[in-house]
């Protein structure tokens, strides 16, 4: 009788210890696992900032002629700060609405140039030609020039990065 009691007690004790080991083990696992995941995916989880970047005063934009703007954007990747230059052509046909186009050719990424005589954008790499508003006229480019989302506040033109 007493012996079987003792045995039962022993088994209960053993089960309790096993359960505790599993519990604490899980807890420790979580204590390392969750922070580790957050730590590893941290930089990826950070949304690419879509701040408005100041391009310049709208007064400088000639009516009906794409005007090239350059803006320096400071970016920080990890612990390294770098400056990136954004260039964009801005076109307005009525002084109210602005089209902000990337100056990067949609074919292979060369820089397009506005050739005033022809009234067209010309890409020097493979003779891609875009019209004033960025649509493809001839050559290999697969799609019109990329456009930036833009807004005008107090006479200053802003574009959204990555937008």
What residue ranges bind other proteins (CB under 8 A)? 14, 17-18, 20-21, 24-25, 27-28, 31-32, 35-36, 38-40, 42-43, 45, 78-80
Token pair 């493979």: residue: 126
Nearest distance in Å: CB 7, other proteins: 15
DSSP tag of 58: G
Cα angle, residue 143 at apex, residues 136 and 147 outer, rounded to 5°: 95
Q: Is 33 helix (H, G, I), strand (E, B) or coil?
A: helix
Nearest distance in Å: CB 11, other proteins: 11
Strands 156-160, 147-148: pairing is: unpaired
Structure tokens at 159: 């574009």
Nearest distance in Å: CB 44, other proteins: 11
* CB closer to other proteins out of 18 and 143: 18
* CB closer to other proteins out of 45 and 116: 45
d(CA 75, CA 116): 33
**Edge-to-edge strand list for the sheet holding 120-123:** 113-115, 120-123, 128-130, 136-138
Nearest distance in Å: CB 36, other proteins: 6
* CB closer to other proteins out of 1 and 79: 79
Nearest distance in Å: CB 29, other proteins: 11
* CB closer to other proteins out of 42 and 109: 42
d(CA 7, CA 9): 5
* CB closer to other proteins out of 25 and 124: 25
């Amino acid at each position: 009788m007493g012996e079987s009691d003792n045995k039962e007690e022993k088994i209960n004790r053993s089960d309790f210890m096993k359960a505790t080991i599993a519990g604490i083990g899980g807890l420790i696992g979580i204590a390392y696992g969750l922070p580790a995941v957050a730590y590893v995916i941290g930089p990826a989880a950070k949304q690419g900032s879509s701040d408005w970047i100041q391009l310049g005063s709208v007064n400088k934009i000639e009516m009906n002629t794409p005007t090239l703007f350059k803006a320096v954007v400071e970016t920080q990747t990890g612990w390294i700060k770098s400056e990136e230059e954004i260039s964009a052509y801005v076109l307005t046909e009525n002084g109210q609405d602005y089209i902000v186009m990337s100056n990067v050719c949609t074919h292979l990424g060369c820089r397009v140039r506005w050739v005033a005589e022809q009234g067209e954008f010309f890409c020097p790499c493979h003779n891609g030609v875009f019209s004033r508003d960025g649509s493809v006229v001839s050559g290999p480019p697969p799609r019109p020039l990329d456009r930036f989302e833009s807004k005008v506040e107090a006479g200053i033109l802003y574009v959204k990065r990555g937008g």
